[in-house]
A and B are shown apart, each in its own frame.
Chain A
């Protein structure tokens, strides 16, 4: 499946929520309405900063019924690849950007008896996309948001519309004061767990849940915020006979795209499996959620959108 064509969107509003946290609201640049956004869905923005082209994925936080606009919330990241800095500093109301239509890789489970949502920091955004749908369904849900103390009020404000009759708690003391094991141990049969935030939090939550006997199929993770690069390396595309230098702040996929290679991709977040590429030589540092532990250990495939070479050189079958 090839990614859908992008469309032009105009920035209709930029709202500062907190220092380093802004909500961007977009509308179709040529009029009309957006398609109904998927619950838990995200869009990919193409950001052109001079000669540099960045493609970043952001969760949609506007409700499915709202089709005149799509909203995202962006945190300014100090060591960002440049996408968040570009949006925060260089994008203004009225600007036109390219947006790929929304994808859903983090949907709401239909058969769940209860939904338990855990967010960390800016990882709240896909959960904000779930909440209108859960509310519309009359579903039973509980949300715990982990936060640094001075952002707790911001998250409380964002969650307020969904708090009536549901347990929603913002933990301003971060993970230290959060009884994760107790929470996961007391959930009724048929609960589904959704977690989004820093990788360490997602690993801790899913690890704790698995240890308590939760089946994998009821633990849903959104990769988010883990877009940090790594050491530069050289990728050799054996079939195309092309060599690509992958920079420290770039993914392998982005480097190949910059070199004009039409590499397969869909989610750009290590989840969908579309960009899976056979590895001929070199060691892989796996960062995806698609390959199994066995496949990762075998090291014969790489998900080019998130994973990197462990050494200076990687030969792939592309």
Chain B
């Protein structure tokens, strides 16, 4: 696999982000069925899966360099997007070890980790970085270990401490989020953090997920997919910057809906960490425009049906009311009513022409 990075693509202002055909087909499409409701859709995070996005512990794609640059910009403007409470230092080192070892094992052409006892040397070729440091000694790195390594990974990360029969979100690197604020939520319990999500509490989804996650074991990570929609390929849809990106929603028209509106998928992964017993929560964000989704027959039929039949509370919570009907109207002519296969695989390895 040779990745051609596109370091100059942008996720704000000019929005030059674009996907190659391979990148469209590896999209982790989030709907295994024609309808959607909250569930405890957690499965073991093992390599392999319905698309190429599931072939590594931490997935890297053609947007890697550009996403790391976008993250650096967000942090330069708002350093509080990365915060870790002081009692989580062991979890910071656990995170650094897990991500470095996983990237070096999955992408040896891009990343190398060498160790001589506690003296580690990390080489990140796509970003042109080389760093020697002493594992366990934060002063030997240019910034704290969690920030150091998550600046070099795609997607957001949070750290959960387990105590008092609960999980507390006690740290995170959050620059590509779907409208939640680390600054506001840090220190919250699992249920408080998920407080604003509608319907799922009443269905017992969070009670069961919490019990399951508290039993999560080292070396047996799990994953799930979550989704929302975003206008323009914007990674930073934070509450902090809502006044900046909120007006985008009113710019959608029937003419531009396919290019402007993106399905935003989070490949969420959960890892129990050894020294700290914390849980690392990876929230890897993938953006694909409605126009690109429409090039896969199964996906365009299914997205149409899911959006058409979506529960009103979910439409509100995910912030879709302003343009959902335009997406449905755009996709409806391409939904011939043919049944779709179960699961999220595209069922094709070529794309239809753009429509």
Contact = CB atoms under 8 A, between A and B. Distances in A.
Q: State yes or no: do A and B touch (Cβ within 8 Å).
A: yes
Interface string B209-236: 0001001111110000000000000000
A108 interface: yes
B97 A266 contact: no
B276 A110 contact: yes
Interface string A110-141: 11000000000000000000000100110000
Given A1-B215, A38-B218, A101-B218, A110 B275 contact: no
Nearest to A65: B118
Given A65-B118, A136-B136, A108 B219 contact: no
A137 B87 CA distance: 10
* Chain B interface category by residue count: 20 to 34
Interface in A56-107: 64-65, 101-104, 107
Q: Which one of A41, A65, A107, A109 has the greatest number of beta carbons of chain B within 10 Å?
A: A107
A293 to B, nearest CB: 16
A121 to B, nearest CB: 25
Contacts, number: 81
A272 B215 contact: yes
Contact of B274 (A64, A266, A273): A64
A39 B277 contact: yes
B306 interface: no
A36 B97 contact: yes
Interface in A18-75: 35-41, 64-65
B271 to A, nearest CB: 11
A274 interface: yes
B274 A217 contact: no
Given A39-B274, A39-B275, A110 B219 contact: no
Nearest to B218: A38
A102 B218 contact: yes
B219 A101 contact: yes
Contacts of A37: 274
A1 B136 CA distance: 32
Given A1-B215, A133-B90, A35 B165 contact: no
B278 A64 contact: no
A210 interface: no
A104 B277 CA distance: 7
Contacts of B215: 1, 266, 272-274
A149 interface: no
A38 B212 CA distance: 19
A4 interface: yes
B163 A217 contact: yes
Contacts of B218: 35-36, 38, 41, 101-104
Interface string A241-265: 0000000000000000000000000
B91 interface: yes
A111 B163 contact: yes
B272 interface: yes
Interface string B61-102: 000000000000000000000000001111100100100000
B90 A110 contact: yes
Contacts of B87: 110-111
A61 to B, nearest CB: 15
Which 6 pairs across A and B sit closest by C-beta, in order of nearness?
Answer: A107-B277, A38-B274, A36-B274, A110-B87, A217-B164, A110-B161
Given A1-B220, A65-B118, 20 more contacts: A1-B215, A4-B217, A4-B219, A35-B219, A35-B274, A36-B275, A37-B274, A38-B218, A38-B277, A39-B275, A64-B274, A65-B135, A101-B217, A102-B218, A102-B219, A104-B218, A109-B163, A110-B87, A110-B90, A110-B163
22 contacts: A1-B217, A35-B274, A36-B94, A36-B97, A36-B218, A36-B274, A39-B275, A41-B218, A65-B135, A101-B219, A104-B217, A104-B272, A104-B277, A107-B277, A110-B90, A110-B91, A110-B163, A111-B161, A111-B163, A137-B89, A217-B165, A266-B215
